[in-house]
């Protein structure tokens, strides 16, 4: 203890240099922790893009492909599912609910998704959160739409706005369904998931705007007005995919096998959690690269400390000699110099934590509202403690280098004043 108080005083005596080292360690530690927390939370939020859904079903293709187009609205389906097949499984004994999804159109770059009201009832994301309305309510009629939060914010839409849906998924589509505008009746709360970037319309709406279309283009001469379309049978012939909630989770694999083995149509049922994990693992390389870079930043901070400690050592040989003469043993010298490095890094770590938490306090509301990512301001997780422990241990090991040199000096110099 006596030695540590000496170390503290010696550091205070060099407070400007020590302060600079502290800043670099604190910054690097808070950066490392922030990256780690962002990583964990974005992984979490990613894994919770969809929850409460037991199976995602689409035409047979790859599971990641299915996940990408049905949940993330990225890419396109290879094929559709017939309404008949959908109905068959929707009415299955073990199935509690289904949400049909029909994709293919867009509005100013945002995907339009046809579905039904069960979507607002059963769709869950995050920690089993249901969709909530910021304004308005679910659609009830054919030409009504519910907007995700980002769509409404970016395009400045309010309730009552009329929007035109474009054919196809491109940002600038030249073929517009401009004869059948949709009225915005609801705007959802932010979710931090692709729901925010989606325009939701009834399946019947999708059917209605394509009534006078055959094979992907409007048939010349065949014009069916919005009102006329309402008269016709608007039950879709096909949908893109559907989500399944089961009465009992135990039945998941059984129903999955049943769908995958369905003879009348090649279907694919996936467990969203597993597919999300696979997808995340594909992106994990970038994530790990980021972590490695921040670890290196911490390392650079510690090397800076090493440099300063080693550079100062030669000037301190006299101090070591005095300490030896008043009874300090070489081990004390080792402890003093190593203790200084350790103190520096411990204080640096504490400051880093302080920095992290003040950053979180300031940044949390902004990140939550802009990116839908909730960063909890809780105690450091086990993993974070381990990271901090590793930083502390590395600084101890690094601190042993000048400590050992001082030890060697004090053995060879003894009490003789070499300077």
Partner 1 sequence: MPQTAAILLKDLRFGWRKNLPEVLHIADLEVPRGERIFIGGASGSGKSTLLALLAGVNLPTQGEVKVLGETINRLSGARRDHFRSDHIGFVFQLFNLIPYLSVLENVTLPCRFSHLRRQKAIEAGGDLQTEAMRLLTHLDMAHKSLIHRPVTELSVGQQQRVATARALIGAPEIIIADEPTSALDSDMRQAFLRLLFQECDDTGSTLLFVSHDRQLASLFERHIALDEINQADQEGQ
Q: Using CB under 8 A as the criterion, which residues of the chain lie in contact with partner 1 when the complex forms?
A: 2, 6, 9-10, 12-14, 318-319, 322-332, 414-417
Q: What minimum distance in Å lies between the beta carbon of 416 and partner 1?
A: 6
In angstroms, give the least distance from the CB of 2 to partner 1. Answer: 4
Q: Which is nearer to partner 1, 12 or 379 (CB)?
A: 12
- Answer yes or no: are the C-beta atoms of 392 and 346 closer than 8 Å: yes
Of 48 and 332, which CB lies nearer to partner 1 in the complex structure?
332
Nearer to partner 1, 17 or 51 (CB): 17
Give the position of tokens 């770590």: 349
Minimum CB separation of residue 403 from partner 1 in Å reads 17
Comparing CB distances to partner 1, the nearer of 274 and 411 is 411
Judged by CB, which is closer to partner 1: 274, or 417? 417
Paired tokens of 188: 């959802």
Report d(CA 330, CA 347) in Å as an integer.
Answer: 25
Instruction: Output 248-256 pairs: Cβ under 8 A, ≥24 positions apart.
Output: 248/94, 249/54, 251/94, 252/54, 252/55, 254/94, 255/54, 255/55, 255/89, 255/92, 255/94, 255/95, 256/55
- Which residue has 């039904």 as its token pair? 116
d(CA 301, CA 392): 12
Q: How far is the CB of 309 from partner 1 (least distance, A)?
A: 15
What's the DSSP call for residue 247? S
Q: Which is nearer to partner 1, 158 or 314 (CB)?
A: 314
Q: Is 13 or 233 the residue whose CB approaches partner 1 more closely?
A: 13
Minimal distance in Å, beta carbon 373 to partner 1?
Answer: 47
Contacts of 158 (CB under 8 A, 6+ apart): 135, 152, 184
CA 394 → CA 62, 104, 344, 412, distances in Å?
A: 44, 54, 12, 28
Q: Toward partner 1, which CB reaches closer, 99 or 335? A: 335
Tell me how crowded residue 177 is: count the other CB atoms within 10 A of its CB: 24
Distance in Å from the first CA to the final CA of the chain:
29
Minimum separation from the CB atom of position 281 to partner 1 (A): 53
Q: Which two tokens stand for residue 163?
A: 């929007």
Separation of alpha carbons 242 and 225, rounded Å: 29
CA atoms within 13 A on the CB side of 43: 17
Quote the least distance from Cβ 11 to partner 1, whole Å.
8
Cβ 313 to partner 1 shortest distance, Å: 15
Nearer to partner 1, 199 or 328 (CB): 328
Q: How far is the CB of 338 from partner 1 (least distance, A)?
A: 17
């Amino acid at each position: 203890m006596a030695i540590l108080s000496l170390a503290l005083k010696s550091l205070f005596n060099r407070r400007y240099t020590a302060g600079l080292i502290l800043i670099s360690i604190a910054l690097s530690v808070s950066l490392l922790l922030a990256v780690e927390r962002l990583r964990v939370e974005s992984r979490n939020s990613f894994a919770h893009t969809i929850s409460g859904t037991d199976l995602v079903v689409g035409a047979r293709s790859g599971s990641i492909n299915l996940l990408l187009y049905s949940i993330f609205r990225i890419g396109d389906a290879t094929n559709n599912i017939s309404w008949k097949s959908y109905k068959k499984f929707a009415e299955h004994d073990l199935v509690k609910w289904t949400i049909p999804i029909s994709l293919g159109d867009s509005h100013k770059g945002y995907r339009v998704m046809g579905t039904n009201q069960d979507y607002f009832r059963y769709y869950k994301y995050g920690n089993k959160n249901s969709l909530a309305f910021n304004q308005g309510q679910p659609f009830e009629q054919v030409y009504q739409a519910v907007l995700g939060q980002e769509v409404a914010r970016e395009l400045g839409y309010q309730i009552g706005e009329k929007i035109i849906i474009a054919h196809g998924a491109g940002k600038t589509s030249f073929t517009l369904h401009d004869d059948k505008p949709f009225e915005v009746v609801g705007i959802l709360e932010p979710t931090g998931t692709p729901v925010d970037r989606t325009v939701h319309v009834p399946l019947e709406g999708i059917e209605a705007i394509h009534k006078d279309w055959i094979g992907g283009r409007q048939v010349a001469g065949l014009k069916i007005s919005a009102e006329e379309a309402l008269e016709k049978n608007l039950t879709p012939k096909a949908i893109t995919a559907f989500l399944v909630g089961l009465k009992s989770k135990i039945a998941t694999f059984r129903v999955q096998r049943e769908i995958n083995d369905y003879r009348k149509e090649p279907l694919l049922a996936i467990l969203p959690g597993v597919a999300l994990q696979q997808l995340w693992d594909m992106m994990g390389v970038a994530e790990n690269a980021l972590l490695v870079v921040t670890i290196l930043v911490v390392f650079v901070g510690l090397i800076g400390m090493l440099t300063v400690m080693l550079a100062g050592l030669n000037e301190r040989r006299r101090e070591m000699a005095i300490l030896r003469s008043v009874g300090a043993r070489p081990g004390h010298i080792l402890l003093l110099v190593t203790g200084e490095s350790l103190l520096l890094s411990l204080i640096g770590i504490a400051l880093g934590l302080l920095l992290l938490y003040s950053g979180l306090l300031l940044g949390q509301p902004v990140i939550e509202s802009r990116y839908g990512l909730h960063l909890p301001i809780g105690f450091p997780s086990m993993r974070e403690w381990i990271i901090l422990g590793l930083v502390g241990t590395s600084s101890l090991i690094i601190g042993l280098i000048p400590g050992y040199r001082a030890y060697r000096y004090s053995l060879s110099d003894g009490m003789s004043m070499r300077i």
